[in-house]
Amino acid sequence: MLLAEPPRTPWDLNFPLFGIPVRVHPMFWVIGLLLGLNATTAAALVAWMIAVFVSILVHELGHATTMRAYGYYPSITLYAMGGLTSYGPSAYGARRLGSFDQILITAAGPVAGFALAGVLYLALTLAHVEVVVEVGLPYLIQMGVTEIVWSAALSRFIKDLFFVSVFWGLVNLLPVYPLDGGQIAREILVRINPLEGDRWSLILSFTTACFLAVVALVQWHSWFTALFFAYLAYWSYAALSFGGGPGRWR
């Protein structure tokens, strides 16, 4: 959900995955640690950090593998609260991307996360582990196990992995920039009205983000979530004020 590629640092972690270059910026670990400060033990914090890393990486791999299917050479950057998958150069004969193709690439990230959660649920069920799924606000959906799976840390990791994979995918489908849902909304609205679609999508992004910021503060009592959506609302408002369109980040 990055707006732009962050600058490189000497502390970046770089590695290839399925032939796709991956870069992990130090701020990814910092924000992950801040979000996991409610962990009661060091093992629980480590389980949380691994779950966040795996979930976000799988999300970005959904974008990247779909891009590669269209003939591009993508790269992944994990930073702060999310990541960015860039197209990179195109191979000879790469397909020109239309609105439907852009939507497919963008939606592939959340779908990959949902698929990971589904595989996890299926694996536990086949292993005869009782799984409890809870649906409700503010976290929308969570999964837990009623017994210790090998260790308490592994059980916590399973819960965190399911939570981040599903929750991050649902949040990303909101019609707010630069989330995946905001980019999908833009493609649809520009298709409907090429002249006003950009502006309509920014108005939708601004109003949705404002509403969620208020709900997060008043109903959920979450300052972090409120500030997150307030920042996204400000970005949409600034883009509207300057009359610029959001463009495509992936």
The predicted model scores a pTM of: 0.89
Q: Answer whether residue 128 shows pLDDT above 90.
A: no
Residue 115 lies in a domain: no
Q: What is the pLDDT of residues 74-96, one digit of tens each?
A: 999 999 878 999 987 776 667 78
Distance (Å, whole) CA 176 – CA 243 = 17
* Count of structural domains within the chain: 1
Q: In this prediction, what percent of the chain has a pLDDT beyond 70?
A: 88
Residue 123 lies in a domain: no
Q: Answer whether residue 109 shows pLDDT above 70.
A: yes
Distance (Å, whole) CA 116 – CA 186 = 27
pLDDT of 138:
59
Residue 196 lies in a domain: yes
pLDDT of 31:
92
When the pLDDT of each residue in the chain is averaged and rounded to a whole number, the result is 87
Distance (Å, whole) CA 148 – CA 112 = 27
Residues near 138 by beta carbon (within 8 Å), at least 6 away in sequence? 216, 219, 220, 222, 225
Distance (Å, whole) CA 102 – CA 13 = 29
Residue 191 lies in a domain: yes
Residue 195 lies in a domain: yes
Residue 206 lies in a domain: yes
Long-range contacts of 146-151 (CB under 8 A, 24+ apart): 149/124
Element (H, E) at 21: strand 20-24
Burial of 42 (0-12, 13-18, 19+ CB in 10 A): exposed
Pick from 21, 1, 13: which is nearest to 64 by CA?
A: 21
Q: What is the DSSP letter of 6?
A: P
Residue 243 banded pLDDT, cuts 50, 70, 90: low
Residues near 88 by beta carbon (within 8 Å), at least 6 away in sequence? 72, 73, 74, 75
> What is the arithmetic mean of pLDDT over 149-160?
82
Domain that holds residue 192: 175-240
Residue 67 is which amino acid? M
**Bridge pairing between strands 13-17 and 82-86:** unpaired
Residue 159 banded pLDDT, cuts 50, 70, 90: confident
Residue 78 lies in a domain: no
Element (H, E) at 114: helix 99-126
Residue 205 lies in a domain: yes
